[in-house]
Amino acid sequence: MSYADASRIANYLTTGYFNDAGYPAASFDVQTGDALRVYTDFTTGADRGIVRLALDAWSAVSGLRFAMNGTANNHDLHLTDSDVGAYSYGYRSNDHTLLWSVANVGRDWLNAYGSETVSYYTQTWIHEIGHALGLGHAGNYNGSAGWGDQNFALDSWQMSVMSYFAPFENPNVSASYGYVLTPMPADILAIHRLYGTPKVEKRGDVYGFDGTATDIYQEFSDLLDNRSDLQPVLLTIHDTGGIDMLNMSRDPHDQRIDLQPGSFSDVLGWHGTLGIAYGTLIENARGGSGDDVILGNRAANRLAGSGGADTLHGGNDSDNLDGGSGNDRLYGQLGADLLIGDNGADFLDGGPNSDILRGGSGNDRMLAGTGNDRLRGQSGNDLLWGHADDDIIWGDHGDDSLSGGGGNDRLRGGRGTDIMSGSAGADVFVFRSQDIRRGDVDLIRDFTRSQDLLDLRNLGLDDFRRGRGSLEEGVLRAVERNDKLHLFADLDGDGVSDLHIVLADDRPLSDGDLLF
């Protein structure tokens, strides 16, 4: 869904509908942060909690406050169930300012649709209060409509609570059938055009499981905690600041979480029901036990896959991606990113800029991309590829394969039988005492004399000898064998080789090729 699509519907909600209907648009002479006085005269059959929830839904996205201290003779909004049906109307001044509005949702609707939090009764109150605040319908219809009466290709509840079309009635929309719990993306744009954008509040909220966001979003979190019979819910997150998280960690379904403003996510086994408002940045997201896809945005994101075989895409800033358990695929994309495979056989692609990649346990594949990157395989038999620029690559535990790519790289196989290739550039092959295990044989495929270096400074060696002979503690001995150059060293003085390095050709080394 593009911003242009939502913006056109928002314009229609604020002005176009009224132009087509033949009377002027009007709104209250207030702005975000101001209060409107609400007067209610419900019968005993009305669900006052649902009406309060509907007001909270509009307050959460508009910044308007609703003071429940209005009287019959002094109010801005009059909410009632005294008549049958659902409708609203307003009284205007000559300058097209709303003086007061009336919204009615009759007891017949309560009896027909029930008073559950997620219900058509709740959605109708949100819809009628939208009218009372100055919004029209999302198309040129009133009372009833069929597909063909629409003005816009994406006209449905997914775009606007002021629409007459459920998602399944619109052939251009792919979303689960469910009722609306908040104003949707076009509604939020429209209400901001009438009353302004709410002020920035750097609170830092959690949406979803264990939610800390207030009002209507807390209702959603409460629904998740008691979700055994939860029906699909259409809602849009609107947030004005802080470092926020969408937490779907207890969802067992395969999710697709998209943090881009204007996007919709597939969560809880539903499709296209959870929206992010334009202008809203949710920085962090956590998936559940299914095979999730999580897409970041232009902020510095922290994305966690948790269980399952997940695919995580960072975005345009410096992101932190953690695959969790399962065989995951992590893509840092732009920015200086941190990618952690964690458990499982993972694929990590840092993308441009200088990234840090850590494979975790499992047999991982890691690709640095451009930039001065740092790769660490950790446990498992890993494949680690550098790229252009100067990379630091460490296999760590396991039988690893390391390739530096272009640039002046530092390669360290770690513990295990490793294969290393510096490729282009002046590369350094690093060996540390804690990495040495008797019986391991490390192969260097392309050691370029007088350019590359063997860094043995941590091993306690102080001499280099060529040709066969007895092993002596502290001495590195080079032996030509089968067109390869084998390097041996006894590190503990027992006469047995602890270090065994093989260079893929038998050309001799000079002292200048070694760092002791």
Residues with catalytic function? 128
Cα three-residue angle 315-320-324, rounded to 5 degrees: 115
Which letter does DSSP use for residue 127 in this model?
H
Which letter does DSSP use for residue 513 in this model?
G
Task: Report DSSP letters for 274-317, one per residue.
Answer: EEE-TT----EEE--SS--EEE--SS--EEE--SSS-EEEEESS
Q: Which of 343, 398, 405, 348 is nearest to 372 (CA)?
A: 405
Spatial separation of the C-alpha atoms in residues 467 and 456, rounded to whole Å: 19
**H or E segment at 264?**
strand 264-265
Spatial separation of the C-alpha atoms in residues 305 and 303, rounded to whole Å: 7
Cα three-residue angle 130-132-135, rounded to 5 degrees: 50
Spatial separation of the C-alpha atoms in residues 432 and 460, rounded to whole Å: 10
Place of tokens 């709104």: 27
Q: What is the largest CA-CA distance in the chain?
A: 108
